[in-house]
Structure formats: C-alpha cells, structure tokens
Chain A
Amino acid sequence: MSLPLAITAPLSFVPIIAIESVVQRVFTRVIETHPGLFDRLADHANKRYAFLPSDLPIGFLVEPAVPRISVHRKERAPASDACMEGELVLLLALLEGRVDGDAVFFSRDLTVSGDMEAMLALRNALDDCEIDLPRDLARMSGPFAPLVRRATEEIRERALGRVVKEEAPQWN
C-alpha cells in the first residue's frame, strides 16, 4: 500500500533535521526497549544499512554499532553496505516481523542489494526482537499513550490489509 501523496509530498520540503529528530527519538526508544536487538548481527553490526521507502522522497541509514539512524534525501543518499527498498508500510512490517522477508522478495515487493550476509543477519535479528511500534510509540507519549497506541494500531491494521478476521492467522 503506497502512502498517499498528501503525506509524501510535504516530506520533500520539510527540513531533514526535523524529520531526523523525530526518527532518531523513535529509534532510540526501540533500542532501549529491545537492548538485544543487534546481538545477532555479530561483526555485521559495523555495517551501514540503507532503507529506501519507494513511496517517500527520503531514505534512512542505520549504523547499529553507533547506534544511529540518519535521514537523507534520496538524491543525496550516502554509501551503504546493504540496501533494502520497498514501500514504507512493507519496511515497517518487516521491522516488526509481521511479514516474511522471503515471501515479499519472491513477490518482488522487496528489493535487496549489497552485502547479503549483513542484510540476512539484520533480517533475522529484527525477526527475533518482537518490535511493536504502536506499543513503543505509546510509551513515548505520556498521558496520550492509550490514544496513540489505538490510533497507530488502527493505521497498522489498515495499512497491512490485515484487519483481523476469523480466518486470519493469529499473531502472538
């Protein structure tokens, strides 16, 4: 599901430093909540991982060893060791382990390039961490936590096309 233009277009004009500030806060929260997130990377923690949402004009560079995430305009994206491209919703679903990386690669919804050993290690590390962005974002939201959690869960369900039905597989 591509993000609507009303969301993506303004990102071309918002200062990168403002986007990065928000993204870095979320990244820091996720790292704090999942301190073992990068343990499975071993030496691959020193690599640089690029995530390029195909429906956004910006990309993200993750450096686990620092740990740091930076935001870049796509035309000025820095060099990386491994790169993953797909729609933002798909990349977030992979971050949470809600879709199978191999399956979305088979369907050509996901493109990977560069150091496959590093990318595979990161995929497996993320898959084991049980990241839950609505829960993690809610913890950053003080008194608005329940509201933020409900809203983000609703967005996630709609975005993934996974509104829970009786027939759908149950997530644990």
Chain B
Amino acid sequence: MELICPAGTPAAFREAVDAGADVVYCGFRDETNARNFPGLNFSREELRTAIAYAKQRKVMTFVAINTFMRAGQETLWHQAVDDAVALGADAVILADFGLMAYTVERHPQQRLHVSVQASASNADAVRFLVEAFAAKRVVLPRTLTIADIARLAKQIDCEIEVFAFGGLCVMAEGRCSLSSYATGKSPNMNGVCSPASHVRYRQDGRELVSELGDYTINRFPAGEAAGYPTLCKGRFDIADERGYAFEDPVSLDVMDHIDALRSAGVSALKIEGRQRGKAYVAEVVSVMRRALTAGAAERPALVSRLKALSEGQKTTTGAYEKRWR
C-alpha cells in the first residue's frame, strides 16, 4: 500500500519525502483547498521546487484542489488545475463535479482522484465518477467499516485510498455546515473549518475556554488534554448532561488494522494533517513507514508513540470498526 503524506509548507514537504512518503499531497495558498489557513500552503514556485525535489527521489506529488467552486469565480479553481498539471502533479484531488468535468476535458491525460470531500461512499457514486470523469482513485469518507470497504472494492473499478491516521471529521465530509453556521465560512467553499479569525482562547480561572464566533466550544479543566475549536468536537449542555454531542476530541488511528485494510482492497493509506507542523509530519511519516513494513506484533509499540501528537492525546478506530446501533 502507498503511504500518502501531508505537507502544508515546503519544509514539511521535504520532511515527508525524507521520512519515507510514497506520495506527498499539498495545496495552493488560496481557497481552492480545504486547508486554507494563514501562512500555510504553496505558491506556484514553491510547488514547482517541491515536485522537483520529490521526483528526484521517486516520490509522487498529489495536489488537492478539493473545495467547491463559487459561481462566477470558477477561474480561481480552473487556474489551480491548469497550474497543477503544468507543474507536473502526479494527480489532482478534486471534489467538485464541475471541476472534474473541466479537468477531464482540458487535461484528459491528467490522473484524477476523488477527494474525501466528494463524499463518494457507495458503489453507484464511485462508478458514476469513474465513468463520467475517468477517476482513477477514490478517497473514501471516514464513514465505512472495513467490511463495507471490502464489499465496495469488489463493485468498483478504481483504486481505494483511506485515511489511516490524524484528525477526524464529523461524518458528513464535504457536506458539513457547522463551521458555516458559526462563522459564515466553510471548509467546503472557503477551505477553512473553524477559521482562525473567529477562534479565541481565554483562561477562566483554571479552565481553558475555547470559543468559535459567538459559541463556547469547550472548557478544559486544568490538566485535561485540549482539542481543536471545532463545533463537531464541542462539549455542550444537553438536557441534564454535559458531553460531546457529535464526537470526542480524538484522532483517527487504524494502524492495528493495516492487514485487514490491505485484504479489503485498499491501495493507499493517507495521513491527515496539512495544517500540522513539520515535526508532526516527520514523526508520523517515519513511524507509519516502519509500521507498514513491521509485523503485526510490533506495530502497537511503534504507533503508540503517536498518541502524544493526537488531538486530545487519544485515538480511535472511528467508523472502521464501528458497531452501528
């Protein structure tokens, strides 16, 4: 299986390559990708240099252009695809059907992958994307069990990539409007979930309070591990209880299930975290690379080192082994 690794800056890109990535994925410094955070991402020239660095080391580069185009502003997204192709991206990762159509018409030789943001989670949806846009790979939403993935793999004619480690979204990828509701900006259209411009942290006595817009997201008592200031990870008062209404602040980690994922037909494992620093990239990529070649008995000790890098310092296997009620 390929190891697909994140990079938010050229320095992180080099760390990923040197730490053992098969592929590094990244985005342009604008609204065309779902990690449009201040100071993050690549200029065209930086991407050109990064791709050259990767190619010299036989590592591929995928460019995420995975937000949805706004009517009247399509040029920004079209230009991003044109530039990614011209710069030599090995694949573009797209979510918007209109942008997929543009890409297959203008650049029929360009390898096209379906972003997790497209939320293609059943055989009909994936088949449509393969037939209509010649998609070569689908990044599955983090909503399926391993058994679901194995069933799906038998019904589709394209490669499957799944998230294996890192941040975990609420189960409506590409459709989530929580951030839009609170701030007017969305991960799907503007590339920002919980935009930093709307985030505030303050101390209230011994509690750390995180706020998004007008909403209090969480109050962390002294000593409790903190999480991201996203509504989906918020702790709310519901009836007589206080708790996590959507999901806990934890990170995904399915490295204990590598063999099962391989058997299910998965071609590539993806590490989430383009917004993270190069220290995260170096450590996670090197550990995952070793875990992929290690025996099943050795993996838990290797991967346990990553817990300290996880949101809330806790991990979960998420939907992959969820027993739905």
Contacts and interface: CB of A to CB of B under 8 A. Distances in A.
**What bracket does the count of chain A residues touching chain B fall in?**
35 or more
B35 to A, nearest CB: 11
B286 A117 contact: no
Contact of B196 (A42, A106, A113, A117): A117
A121 interface: yes
Contacts of A44: 38-39
Contacts of A124: 8-9, 37-40
Interface string B34-59: 00011110000000000000000000
A171 B222 CA distance: 32
Contacts of A121: 38-39
A111 B278 contact: no
A127 B12 contact: yes
Nearest to A101: B277
Given A100-B276, A116-B199, A171 B282 contact: yes
Contact of A108 (B220, B276, B283): B220
A127 B278 CA distance: 7
Contact of A103 (B15, B197, B222, B309): B309
B278 to A, nearest CB: 5
A116 B196 contact: yes
Nearest to A44: B38
Which DSSP category, helix, strand, loop or mixed, fits chain B's interface? mixed
A123 B208 contact: no
Interface stretch (B112-120, B133-141, B223-231, B256-264): B223-231
A100 B226 contact: no
A120 B37 contact: yes
Which interface residue of A42, A117, A119, A127 has the most chain B CB atoms within 10 A?
A127
Interface stretch (B75-83, B94-102, B123-131, B310-318): B310-318
B111 interface: no
Contacts of A40: 9, 39-40
Contacts of A169: 19, 282-283, 286-287
Contacts of B195: 117
Interface string B250-283: 0000000000000000000000000111111011
A122 interface: yes
A169 B310 CA distance: 17
A97 interface: yes
A124 B39 CA distance: 5
A31 to B, nearest CB: 17
Contacts of B197: 116-117
Interface in B291-319: 308-313
Interface in A75-99: 97-99
Interface in A44-84: 44
A103 B196 contact: no
A77 to B, nearest CB: 16
B27 interface: no
Contact of B286 (A98, A100, A116, A170): A170
B18 interface: yes
A128 interface: yes
B38 A100 contact: no
B300 to A, nearest CB: 15
B70 interface: no
A62 B279 CA distance: 23
Contacts of A99: 277, 279
B39 A100 contact: no
B287 A123 contact: no
10 contacts: A44-B39, A106-B313, A107-B226, A108-B208, A108-B226, A117-B196, A121-B38, A123-B39, A128-B11, A169-B287
